Amino acid sequence: MTASTATTTPEKHRSKGSSLRREEAMWGLALILPSTLGILIFAILPILGSFGISFTDWGGLSLPNWTGLENYTRALGDSKAIESIGRTLIFTILAVPMGLVVAIVLASLIQNLRLEKVKTFFRTLYYLPMVTIGVATALLFKVLFTAQGPINLPFNLLGIQGPAWLDSPDTVLTAIAIYSVWQGAGSSIILFMAALANVPKELYEAAQIDGAQPFRLFWHITLPMISPTIFLVLILSLIGSLQVFEAVLVMTKGGPGDSSMTIAMYIYKTGFNYFKMGYATALAWLLSLALVVLIVLQWRLQKSWVHYE
């Protein structure tokens, strides 16, 4: 715009335009300055710093020694780290599909209700765990998952002694997955509800005239139409699950034994309990690399199943 005016109008205008330009640039930089300073000091600088630390043997107190790739090669042979990655993957397989299915089903049921108020009621209710302090609800579930807790009440009514969910290596990851679905379903539900509201009604009407049954409508129209949101929720919950930490720290601290030691928990322990800060940051970089690879992979895969308008 300014370029074309500059060629057709005299010098005066041109200098006015460029001073406006300069003023705009000054304002822009001034407006972003406070926020950008904060981001640079407390996010970008630490990212660079942690990359440096990951190549040292730094333990938190003494001066660090440069050890090159040692932390990274060590990670590849660290059976505890590898096992914790395996457990994290098991947890992810337990939590992510369960969360997705629960959220899609509940969201489409809510969306099928007629009264706006009833819709809002259910949506609000399912979202409640999201606005509570995670530590408090994790503590609560720790009580619920005891052998005498209410989660075992149905088993007890059938005369079966339910397990102490968090005390057995066989059930501990399932229990934490159930908790995280309980806690996180609400946010996926509102995303799916927003997506479902945008599916054009005419699509259903046309299919209904052809006599399609509700399940077929859901499978052939609803799911493809909300597939971008399924993709989004899938990515968000994968990232969340692969970094599961807070629930583990509060409920089990990684136990019994190491049976709920996830990778994020292992990194935390390595850094803040054993003070191997160099090694912990190297593990953190490996985790992030894995997350990036996974997201890129999903991005590639989405082309085959995500349907964009």
Q: What residues between 213 and 272 interact with another protein by CB under 8 A?
A: 213-214, 217-218, 222, 229, 232, 236, 243, 245-246, 250, 264, 267-268, 271-272
* Residue from 191, 226, 248, 306 in contact with another protein (CB under 8 A): 191
Interacting positions 10-29 with another protein (CB under 8 A): 21, 23-29
Shortest approach of another protein to residue 68 CB, angstroms?
19
Q: Which residues contact 252 (CB under 8 A, 6 or more apart)?
A: 166, 172, 176, 260
The helix/strand count (H/E) of the chain reads as: 16, 0
Region near another protein per CB under 8 A, out of 4-12, 79-87, 190-198, 298-306: 190-198
Does 38 engage in binding with another protein (CB under 8 A)?
yes
Region near another protein per CB under 8 A, out of 10-18, 46-54, 80-88, 297-305: 46-54
Tell me whether residue 14 or residue 119 sits nearer to another protein (CB atom). Answer: 119
Dump the DSSP string for 205-234. Answer: HHHHHTT--HHHHIIIIIHHHTHHHHHHHH
- Burial (CB count within 10 angstroms: exposed 0-12, middle 13-18, buried 19+), residue 278: buried
Interacting positions 157-186 with another protein (CB under 8 A): 182
Does 137 engage in binding with another protein (CB under 8 A)?
yes
Query: Do 265 and 85 touch, CB atoms closer than 8 A?
Result: no
Give dist(CA 282, CA 73) in Å, integer: 10
Interacting positions 75-134 with another protein (CB under 8 A): 102, 105-106, 108-110, 112-114, 120, 122-134
Region near another protein per CB under 8 A, out of 8-16, 42-50, 74-82, 300-308: 42-50
Tell me whether residue 260 or residue 281 sits nearer to another protein (CB atom). Answer: 281
Shortest approach of another protein to residue 230 CB, angstroms?
13
Phi, psi (rounded to 5 degrees) for 291: -65, -45
Tell me whether residue 94 or residue 264 sits nearer to another protein (CB atom). Answer: 264
Tell me whether residue 20 or residue 69 sits nearer to another protein (CB atom). Answer: 20
Tell me whether residue 254 or residue 271 sits nearer to another protein (CB atom). Answer: 271
* Residue from 204, 225, 238, 255 in contact with another protein (CB under 8 A): 204
Q: The tokens of 38 are what?
A: 């904060």
